[in-house]
Amino acid sequence: MEIPFAESWKIKMVEPIKKSTREQREQWLKEAKYNVFMLRSEQVYIDCITDSGTGAMSDRQWAAMMTGDEAYAGARSFYELKDTITRITGFEYVLPTHQGRAAENVLFSHLVKAGDIVPGNSHFDTTKGHIESRKAFAVDCTVDEAKNTQLEVPFKGNVDLNKLDACLAENADKVPFIIVTITNNTAGGQPVSMENLRGVRKVADKYGKRVIFDSARFAENAYFIKMREPEFKDATIKEICREMFALADAMTMSSKKDGLVNMGGFIATRWEDIYEGAKKFLIPFEGFLTYGGMNGRDMAALAVGLDENTEFDMLETRIKQVEYLAKKLDEYGIPYQRPVGGHALFIDADKVLDQVPKEEFPAQMLTIELYREAGIRGCEIGYLLADRDPITRENRFGGNDFLRLCICRRTYTNNHMDVIAAALKNVYDRRHEIKRGVKIVWEAELMRHFTVQLEPLG
Ligand code: F0G
């Protein structure tokens, strides 16, 4: 008999979670104004709202916490972290921040000014927010294949090099840098190939531009490169990481994802001028150069986490769990962004709730229905998250409308995946009864999905 695949770790500490009744959930939804960000975590049975900062640290990371150096200046933990980052990425200059968006804030304060144009592949919402709040523009150059959720292509996160070239040909003097998000979260946790990263580098060099990687899930991206690009089938994850980052000038990092920690981020670069420029904003916004928003102990845990998560076994365990859930959905015929990405399933809400008009936010309605069904909290990555166009103030309905179900690292078992799949199937089976969605009662100008207040229609 073939020995089945199993996790590359065992469990040492557990945290109880609680079920609830449908009546309770109905009440809690009402109190939360139908925005699942407003629920308390005790009201959630299985939490798939994000894979950010929600993973379980290893025994080695917890042990490292005890060794943290909390010195204000020159902490040993900073130098340990910096050496690890340099070893994995090749970048010599490192600035720690309290999370990924803080890295964006610090770096973009130096690099982005009003009127600038920043091309990239489906900028994440905070990235776009930090560009647009500076009265600059994010231009999405993702490959068109990403829009068709049923198309099976291996690197749906790629940058369309023709779109990128056209954007630069037209606006070269306004482009401070190109940003490539690895993996491409908004398009469905989809990877970007090494071939594509090489192509981006070529276009950037043609116009004398710098390339920044938004690297939140860079290790998962390296795993997909190993599995899907024949050139790298025998390479280690760490070798692939070095090769990816060799094609960039700098990176922003949310360590809460592939750093395997609950809080943290950093900027890293090979260029002294970027470091010197960003440094000026790090100190007032985040903190001194050798802690910048992080505890010494958290930097120590991050150094271990980065090392652990750039090992094949860890990534294989993780991605196989995401694939396990995807296979269940295949059995039930539930449409999602194919092939499944690294950190989450992105359910194609437009296709599931096809009677709910766009203007009533189908993916948000599906998010609400899944919570109603079994206390599972997903997250809308769709028309609500897309915000309004900064100039016309119209809703942006051009992209996909997804219910994202993130899988936390080393947190839930495949039994939990079975619960998620069954709950989704129940909602899917009664999809024809769901004809109306929600309307917005109150919204913020930017990043509205976090705090939006909604009312169900019908
Ligand atoms: N870039 C990407 C690709 C992200 O996915 C995120 C966060 C950030 C930057 C910002 O990092 O949260 O540490 O400030 N994504 C989370 C998510 C929140 O749920 O996808 P942060």
Q: Is there a domain that residue 10 lies in? A: no
Task: Tell me how far the alpha carbon of residue 224 lies from the centroid of ligand 1, in angstroms.
Answer: 20
d(CA 103, ligand 1 centre) in Å: 11
How far apart (Å, rounded) are the C-alpha atoms in residues 63 and 366?
A: 41
Q: Are residues 75 and 31 in the same domain?
A: no
Helix, strand counts (H, E) of the chain:
15, 14
What are the backbone angles phi and psi of residue 186, rounded to the nearest 5°? -65, -30
One domain for residues 361 and 430: yes
Using CA atoms, how far apart are residues 302 and 41, in angstroms rounded to an integer?
25
| Tokens of residue 339, six digits | 């092939």
Q: Is 85 left (phi over 0), alpha (psi -120 to 50) or beta?
A: alpha
Are 173 and 223 within one domain? yes
- Contacts of residue 198, Cβ cutoff 8 Å, sequence gap at least 6: 247
CA of 178 to the centre of ligand 1 (A): 18
Substitution site in 98, 124, 367 for ligand 1 pocket (most atoms within 8 Å of beta carbon): 124
Listed residues 261, 284, 308: the one ending a domain: 308
Burial of 242 (0-12, 13-18, 19+ CB in 10 A): middle
Which DSSP symbol is given to 191? -
Q: 316 and 296, same structural domain?
A: no
From 254, 258, 267, give the residue whose CB has the most ligand 1 atoms within 8 Å, as the site to mutate. Answer: 254
Please indicate, yes or no, whether residues 146 and 203 belong to a single structural domain of this protein: yes
In a domain, 1, yes or no: no
What is the rounded CA–CA span in Å between residue 326 and residue 315?
Answer: 17
Distance CA 399, CA 162 (A): 19
How far is Cα 57 from Cα 62, in angstroms, rounded to an integer?
Answer: 7
The reply to whether 351 and 438 lie within a common domain is: yes
Distance CA 52, CA 345 (A): 15
State pLDDT tens for residues 11-67. 999 999 999 999 999 999 999 999 999 999 999 999 999 999 999 999 999 999 999
Residue 15: inside a domain: no
What is the pLDDT at residue 458?
Answer: 78
Instruction: For residues 234 and 334, state if they share a domain.
Output: no
- Atom number in ligand 1 closest to CA 406: 19
432 alpha carbon – ligand 1 mean position (Å): 34
Nearest CA to ligand 1 atom 8: 100
Q: Which atom of ligand 1 is nearest to the CA of 99?
A: 13
Domain count, the chain: 2
102 and 126 in contact (C-beta within 8 Å)? no
- Tell me: do 241 and 286 sit in the same domain: yes
Burial of residue 301 (number of CB atoms within 10 Å: 0-12, 13-18, 19+): buried
Residues 100 and 212 in one domain: yes
Q: Is residue 12 part of a domain?
A: no
- Alpha carbons 279 and 50: distance in angstroms, whole number: 30
Q: What residues act catalytically? A: 72, 124-125, 214, 216, 257, 449
Determine, yes or no, domain membership for 9: no
Centroid of ligand 1 to alpha carbon of 127 (angstroms): 9
Q: How far apart are CA 145 and CA 117, in angstroms?
A: 23
Based on the domain organization, do 417 and 300 belong to the same domain?
Answer: no
- Determine the residue of 131, 181, 257 to mutate for testing ligand 1's pocket, defined as the one with the most ligand atoms within 8 A of the Cβ atom: 257
Decide: helix, strand or coil at residue 101. helix
The reply to whether omega before 339 is within 30° of 0 (cis) is yes
Residue 371's closest CA among 136, 9, 47, 93?
A: 47
Ligand 1 atom at minimal distance to the Cα of residue 185: 3
Q: Assess contact for 252 and 215: CB atoms under 8 A.
A: yes
CATH number at residue 336: 3.90.1150.10
Which of 281, 253, 240 shows the shortest CA–CA distance to 94?
A: 253
User: How much is the pLDDT for 306?
Assistant: 98
Looking at ligand 1, which residue's alpha carbon is closest to its atom 19? 50
Choose the final residue of a domain: 308, 341, 372. 308
Q: Are residues 71 and 43 in the same domain?
A: no
Q: How far is the CA of 291 from the centre of ligand 1 (A)?
A: 20
Rounded to the nearest 5 percent, the helix, strand and coil shares of the chain are: 45, 15, 40
Report residues whose beta carbon is within 6 angstroms of any ligand 1 atom.
50, 52, 99-101, 124, 126-127, 181, 185, 214, 216, 254, 256, 265
Q: Is 115 part of any domain?
A: yes
pLDDT of 157: 98
Give residue 71's domain range. Answer: 59-308
Centre of ligand 1 to C-alpha 269, Å, is: 19
**Do residues 384 and 296 share a domain?**
no
Chain CA centroid to CA 262, Å: 14
Q: Is residue 42 one of the residues assigned to a domain?
A: yes
Instruction: Using DSSP, state whether 276 is helix, strand or coil.
Output: helix
Atom of ligand 1 nearest to the CA of 217: 3
CATH number for position 264: 3.40.640.10
Q: Is residue 228 part of a domain?
A: yes
Atom 11 of ligand 1, nearest CA residue: 100
Per-residue confidence in pLDDT tens, the chain, 458 aa = 999 999 999 999 999 999 999 999 999 999 999 999 999 999 999 999 999 999 999 999 999 999 999 999 999 999 999 999 999 999 999 999 999 999 999 999 999 999 999 999 999 989 999 999 999 999 999 999 999 999 999 999 999 999 999 999 999 999 999 999 999 999 999 999 999 999 999 999 999 999 999 999 999 999 999 999 999 999 999 999 999 999 999 999 999 999 999 999 999 999 999 999 999 999 999 999 999 999 999 999 999 999 999 999 999 999 999 999 999 999 999 999 999 999 999 999 999 999 999 999 999 999 999 999 999 999 999 999 989 988 899 999 988 999 999 999 999 999 999 999 999 999 999 999 999 999 999 999 888 999 999 999 97
Name the residue at shortest CA distance from atom 15 of ligand 1: 52
H-assigned helices in 36-96: 59-65, 76-89
Question: CA 17 from chain center: how many Å?
Answer: 24
Structure tokens at 295: 């505890």
Domain final residue, candidates 308, 326, 346: 308
Farthest-apart Cα atoms in the chain, separation: 63
Residue closest via CA to ligand 1's atom 18 equals 52
Three-class SS of residue 120?
strand
